[in-house]
Structures are given as C-alpha cells and as structure tokens.
Amino acid sequence: SQQGEEDPQALSIQEGENATMNCSYKTSINNLQWYRQNSGRGLVHLILIRSNEREKHSGRLRVTLDTSKKSSSLLITASRAADTASYFCATLSSNTGKLIFGQGTTLQVKP
Amino acid sequence: GAGVSQSPSNKVTEKGKDVELRCDPISGHTALYWYRQSLGQGLEFLIYFQGNSAPDKSGLPSDRFSAERTGGSVSTLTIQRTQQEDSAVYLCASSPQVPYEQYFGPGTRLTVT
C-alpha cells in the first residue's frame, strides 16, 4: 500500500534550474526519507529527516518536513543532467521498520 | 565496503514454477528488508527481519511467498507456483538497525511467462 502522494509525477527542467518535489503522507512517522532511482533498479538513499526536524541540507539537496500538514518537499538546486532519475519519498513509523513509499517523481534535466 | 548484493539479476520462469531469490546484506547490518516494484503497484513492502525477532510478514501478498534469513545474514525469498502477476523487480535492502536509512541492492527482475 502506498503512503501518500508525490507531485508532480513528472518534471522536466533545464540544467542549472532548481527542482522541487513534494510528498504527502497519511500516518504519524518516525522519519521521512528520500531516495533516487536510476533506470528502474536499485534505490540510493539521499537524505533522512526525523519527525522533530523541520529542515535538513545535504550538498545541493534541501528537505523540509511539516508534520502538521503531513508533507515534505525535496529541493535540488543547480540541477545537472546527472540528476535525471526518479525520486521517491518514503516514511517510516516508530513501531515498524518498513518503508512506505510514495509513487515517485520522474525528473528530467536537459543539458 | 561491499554493498547489498542480489542474485540472480534477471530470472525468467514459466508460470507454475517455484523461484528463489537471494540477498546478501551489508556485513553487520541487523535489519534486512524485501520490497517489490511493479508498474501497477509501485514500490511495495514485503517482509523484514530485525535481529532475532520474528519477521514482519505483513506485506507478503499471498501464502505462495515466503522468506527466510539464515544465520542473521543471507536471505532467500521464495515464490511458489509463480503467476504472471508476480512479474516485478524484487529489491532487497539492509540497515544497521531500525529505524535508519536503508541500503538497497540492484534488484532481481522476475518475469513469469
């Protein structure tokens, strides 16, 4: 079962522009994580934000979390062609280890 | 160090046959997870193992699916009497413990003909 929605489903931008992806979820969480997937195979962990955190940075990535709205956003600044991939948010509840994934956003960065 | 490995990378099987998918987690990781990804269902949790605790099997779609983890390390996901709807990419992940980030393997693409 999917935890929530991600939007947009697809995003196409030019290299150098910023990309913003949004994620909404339904239940209370311990943390929320963002993953990247290239070519439909293994996922790569990008960043984890805990439920008591509001914002987190990692390189060109900025993640925000609003637990009152049950939503998160991922901002990729100064995008590169190599950022072309699918991006998934996933939530993890306190009483379980399983990740519940959103449907994902497909990002295309044009050189 | 070595990441999560899965074998085989691709598996084509006939409907009704049994298949076994293998996962080698990162050494020292106590938690191991199985997910599957298909066009219609997205990324779905199947089962996870945490140390010596009973596994959480709540995501297994039917009793044709089972998994075991031997010696707290390698895991095998078994699908009996495969059906066409079992066609998907099966992903394994491990983490140092719960609830931390998970490290995914490259997946096994299963095609049931």
pLDDT of res. B61: 95
Q: Where are the domains of chain B?
A: 5-112
Query: Tokens 């991006």 map to which residue?
Result: A87
Closest residue by Cα to residue A31 from A45, A43, A11, A20 = A45
CB A107 within 8 Å of CB A21 = yes
Section B53-62 average pLDDT: 92
pLDDT higher than 90, residue B89: yes
Which chain B residues have a beta carbon less than 8 Å from that of A44? 104
For A48-59, what is each residue's pLDDT tens digit? 999 999 999 999
Q: Which amino acid is at B5?
A: S
Closest residue by Cα to residue A78 from A63, A62, A89 = A62
Question: How many A-B residue pairs are in contact by the CB < 8 A criterion?
Answer: 62
- Which domains does chain A show, CATH number per domain? 6-110 (2.60.40.10)
pLDDT of res. A6: 87
- Alpha carbon distance A27, B25 (integer Å): 29
pLDDT of res. A40: 63
pLDDT of res. A1: 46
Comparing A5 with B110, which gets the higher pLDDT?
A: B110
In the DSSP assignment, the letter for residue B54 is: P
> Is B23 touching A (CB cutoff 8 A)?
no
First to last CA, chain A: 36
Name the pairing type of β-strands B10-13 and B108-112.
Answer: parallel
Residue B46 makes CB contacts below 8 A (sequence gap 6+) with: B33, B34, B35, B36, B59, B60, B61, B65, B67, B77, B90
Q: Is B59 in contact with A98 (Cβ distance < 8 A)?
A: yes
Section B60-82 average pLDDT: 95
Q: Encode burial over B79-106: b for 16+ CB neighbours within 10 A, e otherwise.
A: beebeeebbbbbbbbbbeebbbbbbbbb
pLDDT higher than 80, residue A62: yes
pLDDT higher than 70, residue A15: yes
Please give the mean pLDDT across all residues of chain A.
Answer: 92
pLDDT of res. A98: 87
For B20-41, what is each residue's pLDDT tens digit? 999 999 999 999 999 999 987 7
Residues of A with CB under 8 A from a CB of B: 1-2, 30-31, 33, 35, 40-45, 48, 88, 90, 92, 94, 96-104
pLDDT of res. A4: 65
Q: Which fold has domain B5-112?
A: Immunoglobulin-like (2.60.40)
Q: Is A100 in contact with B45 (Cβ distance < 8 A)?
A: yes
Q: Is A88 in contact with B43 (Cβ distance < 8 A)?
A: yes
Residue A83 makes CB contacts below 8 A (sequence gap 6+) with: A19, A76, A107, A109
**Which residue spans within B8-107 are E strands per DSSP?**
10-13, 19-24, 31-38, 42-50, 65-69, 75-79, 88-95, 103-104
Please give the mean pLDDT across all residues of chain B.
Answer: 93
pLDDT of res. B78: 98
